[in-house]
């Protein structure tokens, strides 16, 4: 029955053979503004790198890229509508930011255009049944990150969490990040406190709420995290009775053993306070091809004077993601065409991007059945309090939901001091 | 200089004379769902009535109407984008609801298409400098209604207000209505309390807040208003020390002398409580042409079994507004064409709809310099407490910001009992 359908379609679409050149229009929504880690100047070189690499594997695919600034929802929607009235693009890459992505993905889904983004990470986008049907997320969403916490809560028998969220009311990265944690923590007692960047730290309220919980999960700027940790340390809350986390997904170079250090009189207290702080971040891999890619991309951005960090060898998740988006789309288009469908069948092409595993630039990329990338994360902790230095103590692999414990892992670190005595019914 | 420009344009556009037929595509965004006062079945007859009436005045204007369901933001935006890819409409009528209107007006403004709506009443739409540049509001916005309050506050030397808002988190009519009051009351002390339809009345909190204020302004369903008034009455807060208002813009037939009455054991208390309640509503006019129009429209809706009220002679503000939208657009198009512009020049046509006064179906319509209709409102109060019957005690005319006091007006009603003694410095 299937083969008959395929045959029929191939007869109806006789031009769709793999030997004919396919002109593929790619509309790329990325901001020109270089204050974003996913600006055009940073990400476009990676897309072109992929475009070049694909010529060997798919010589008949000719990608033409059109870069579109996406600095506001209106700009993005108007561009898509204007552009699509003449000729609809075959593929949309981006937008990254939630509000632009929501508007663009809705219209693109309505028009049967596949969208692949290394952003659109918020919880809402997992609903692919209706308005986000054509969205494939090539970077691990906030929900995937949140799984790390639910897995730890189960493993270590924690019961309650306090979410501390710095919300800028613009990008809202931290809000959307911890919103996902809130979503996956149905089985636990979870409270949240939100504050703005500008307002002074509401220490009393925060410390009181910490006292009422076991695990504190923070998403905030580095200075605010330090301020909270110092306040907690002053009140002896960093003595092991509470477990602290911060989430640091994008600024992969800005956290780590230096984040407590400011060269001020609080450095020593901060170092001791950070001994209780664990950081959840993206797992970074280092296969040889990735090195070459990374060096090439850095050359491009260096030429533009965009040195994001002097000491980091890796490009960021967005750069990597949009590269892999091109690979994934090419494979899916190839599969769809083999089955007799044209490049205009966005639903069909999208379905071939979901529920598969492929070799991305940094390592294996596993897409779940819902078109969202499974995420691998690292857990970092201070392993030398004297030096104040950090190490990865565990990795979490989303595809099989397992932890890999490193030699530096110390399970005592994740036991809540004094709790088991008070709650003898809990597993030891 | 002006005449030269006009001459030049007329030479460039030689076809644009008033004698040639103009095919005018009108895309009408109204919901099919008859639970809305502005459903297609209710409003379309009024648009057709205007269309018919215009053939005499502008025989060369041929309007063709396309009705588009607008039950969700996505549906509205997709329809506009799809439709406009083939051929852009010349005029958009609607949408009414804020979220649909925001999305449609943005895209229409970008495409230089005039939009006239009897909705889009929220504060945000007054910003015509950027994304809502092509929006003309043919019904008085919430800001215009709010002027009535700021005018009363000034006249009666009130100083503080409590806004009680029932927010359904869907249409959000009450939220948007009192948001406007909040905006115009910069010079006064204003607090607001929001509650949902479902939650039980938070009497203690509400009564405490009433005690801290002078004027209570409510927007809520009729039952909730009654509940609040009964609670206030029980605590002797309806003795003249506080002045109560509710806002009733659309259900012009459902308020009035019956609204305290439920046929239950609280009717007597409610009647006494409502003696302290004043209602701000739209001023209704009764010129002879309006009677004919109203009868015609009611015939159409009666045929569909849509009897909105058995005792009311008037159609609602949306029906009237969309009728007048057609008149206003036709006059503006005529003006623009006289000046040598085509029907595709949305900016020019829009400018001719602003800052003018014309004769609408119910009376004079005055559009302000910002393209928003000036509003006329009535203030109703219980003038016979024994009978529990209401009368209009004052009218407010937005165009010159004046009150007209009716014979039933009693200034004592608007004096806050006991306040002037405590504040001798205030004008008596």
For the segment B219-236, the average pLDDT, to the nearest whole number, is 94
Cβ <8 Å between B81 and A84:
yes
- pTM of this prediction? 0.84
The model's pLDDT over A212-230, given as tens digits with 9 standing for 90+, comes to 999 999 999 888 999 999 9
Tens-digit pLDDT profile for residues A124-150: 999 999 899 999 999 999 999 999 999
Per-residue confidence (pLDDT) for residue A108, from 0 to 100: 96
CA proximity to A283, closest of A374, A163, A176: A374
The answer to whether residue B318 scores a pLDDT higher than 80 is yes
Instruction: Give contacts of B134 with chain A, Cβ < 8 Å.
Output: none
Residues of A in contact with B87 (CB under 8 A): none
What pLDDT band is residue B251 in, cutting at 50, 70 and 90?
Answer: low
Nearest chain A Cα to B103, which residue? A74
- CA distances to A223, A391, B218 from A381, rounded to whole Å, are 18, 6, 54
Handedness of CA A162, A168, A169, A175 (dihedral sign): negative
Residue A5 reports pLDDT greater than 70:
no
pLDDT of B7 reads 38
pLDDT of residue B116 exceeding 90:
yes
Model confidence at A379, in pLDDT bands (50, 70, 90)?
Answer: very high
Smallest CA–CA distance from A74 into chain B, residue: B106
Q: Give me the pLDDT at residue B419, please.
A: 66
What percentage of chain B has pLDDT greater than the value 70?
89
Look at residue B14 in the predicted model and tell me its pLDDT.
39
Average pLDDT of span B141-153: 97
* H/E segment holding residue B405: strand B402-405
Contact A107 B78 (CB under 8 A): yes
Look at A107 and B77 and tell me if their CB atoms are within 8 Å.
yes
Report which DSSP code applies to A367: B
Q: List, in order, residues 6 or more apart from B264 with CB less than 8 Å away.
A: none
Q: Per-residue pLDDT averaged across A409-424, rounded?
A: 74
For residues B16 and A215, give the distance between their C-alpha atoms in angstroms, rounded to a whole number: 73
Q: How far apart are CA A248 and CA B255, in angstroms?
A: 56
What HEC string does A110-122 produce? HCCCCEEECCCCC
Tell which of A82, A105, A130, A132 to mutate to test the B interface (max B CBs under 10 Å).
A82
Distance CA A122, CA A126 (A): 8
Q: What pLDDT is recorded for position A50? A: 96
Please give the mean pLDDT across all residues of chain B: 88
Q: Which of A1-10, A418-427, B24-33 has the highest mean pLDDT?
A: B24-33
A14 token code pair:
């006789």
**How many distinct helices (H) and strands (E) make up chain B?**
13, 15
pLDDT tens by residue, A29-68: 999 998 888 999 999 999 999 999 999 999 999 999 999 9
Per-residue confidence at A251, pLDDT binned at 50, 70, 90?
Answer: low
Q: How far apart are CA A103 and CA A108, in angstroms?
A: 9
Confidence band for B12, pLDDT divided at 50, 70 and 90: very low
Joined together, the tokens standing for residue B169 give 């988190």
Average confidence score pLDDT of chain A: 88
Chain B residue numbers touching A77 (CB-CB < 8 A): 77, 106-107
A104 has a pLDDT exceeding 80: yes
- Tell which of B72, B76, B77, B113 to mutate to test the A interface (max A CBs under 10 Å): B77
- The mean-pLDDT minimum among A127-141, A413-427, B176-190 falls in A413-427
Q: Which of A297-311, B181-195, B205-219 has the lowest mean pLDDT?
A: A297-311
The confidence band for B143, taking pLDDT boundaries of 50, 70 and 90, is very high
Query: Which positions in chain A touch B131 (Cβ < 8 Å)?
Result: 74
Cβ proximity of A102 and A123 under 8 Å: no
- Which strand (E) or helix (H) includes residue A321? helix A317-338
Per residue in B260-316, pLDDT tens? 889 999 999 999 999 999 999 998 777 888 888 988 888 888 888 776 654 455 688
Is residue A158 pLDDT above 80, yes or no? yes
Closest by Cα among B250, B192, B248, B208 to B225: B248
**In chain B, which residues touch A (CB < 8 A)?**
74, 77-78, 81, 84-85, 106-107, 110, 131
**Lowest-confidence pick of A313-322, B74-83, B151-160, B370-379:** A313-322
pLDDT bin (cut points 50, 70, 90) of residue B107 is very high
Percent of chain A whose pLDDT exceeds 90? 72
In A, which residues are within 8 Å of B113 by CB distance?
none
Chain A hits for B77, Cβ within 8 Å: 77, 106-107
Q: What is the pLDDT of residues A284-313, one digit of tens each?
A: 776 888 888 988 888 888 888 776 654 455
With a cut of 50, say whether residue B322 has pLDDT above it: yes
**SS3 state of residue A247:** strand
Can you name the residues that pair with B280 across neighbouring β-strands? B247, B379
CB nearest to A74's CB, from B74, B84, B106: B106
Residue of A nearest to B83 (CA): A85
Contact B348, B339 (CB under 8 A): yes
């Amino acid at each position: 029955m299937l083969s008959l359908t395929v045959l029929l379609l191939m007869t109806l679409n006789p031009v769709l053979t793999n030997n004919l050149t396919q002109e593929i229009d790619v509309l790329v929504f990325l901001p020109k503004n270089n204050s974003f880690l996913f600006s055009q100047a940073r990400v476009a070189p990676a897309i072109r790198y992929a475009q070049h690499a694909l010529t060997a594997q798919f010589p008949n695919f000719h990608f033409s890229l059109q870069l579109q600034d996406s600095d506001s929802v209106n700009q993005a929607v108007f561009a898509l509508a204007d552009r699509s009235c003449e000729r609809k693009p075959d593929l949309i890459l981006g937008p990254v930011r939630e509000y632009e992505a929501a508007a663009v993905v809705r219209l693109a889904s309505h028009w049967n255009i596949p969208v692949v983004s290394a952003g659109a990470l918020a919880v809402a986008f997992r609903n692919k049944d209706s308005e986000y049907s054509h969205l494939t997320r090539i970077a691990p969403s906030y929900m995937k990150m949140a799984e790390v916490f639910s897995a730890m809560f189960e493993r270590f028998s924690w019961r309650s969490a306090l979410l501390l969220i710095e919300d800028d009311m613009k990008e809202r990265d931290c809000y959307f990040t911890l919103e996902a944690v809130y979503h996956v923590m149905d089985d636990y007692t979870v409270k949240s406190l939100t504050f703005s960047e500008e307002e002074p730290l509401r220490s009393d309220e925060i410390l009181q709420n910490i006292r009422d919980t076991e695990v504190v999960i923070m998403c905030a700027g580095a200075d605010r995290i330090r301020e909270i940790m110092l306040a907690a340390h002053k009140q002896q809350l960093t003595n092991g009775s509470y477990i602290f986390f911060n989430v640091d997904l994008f600024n992969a170079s800005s956290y780590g053993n230096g984040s407590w250090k400011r060269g001020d009189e609080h450095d020593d207290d901060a170092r001791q306070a950070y001994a209780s702080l664990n950081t959840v971040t993206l797992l970074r891999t280092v296969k040889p091809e990735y090195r070459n890619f990374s060096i090439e991309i850095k050359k491009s951005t260096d030429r533009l004077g965009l040195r994001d960090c002097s000491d980091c060898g890796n490009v960021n998740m967005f750069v990597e993601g949009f590269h892999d988006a091109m690979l994934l789309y090419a494979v899916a288009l190839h599969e769809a065409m083999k089955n007799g469908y044209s490049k205009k069948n966005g639903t069909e092409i999208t379905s071939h991007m979901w529920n598969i595993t492929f070799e991305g630039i940094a390592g294996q990329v596993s897409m779940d059945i819902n078109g969202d990338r499974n995420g691998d994360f690292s857990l970092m902790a201070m392993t030398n309090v004297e030096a104040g230095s950090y190490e990865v103590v565990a990795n979490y692999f989303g595809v099989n939901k397992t932890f890999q414990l490193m030699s530096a892992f110390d399970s005592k670190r994740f036991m809540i001091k004094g709790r088991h005595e008070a709650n003898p019914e809990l597993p030891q």
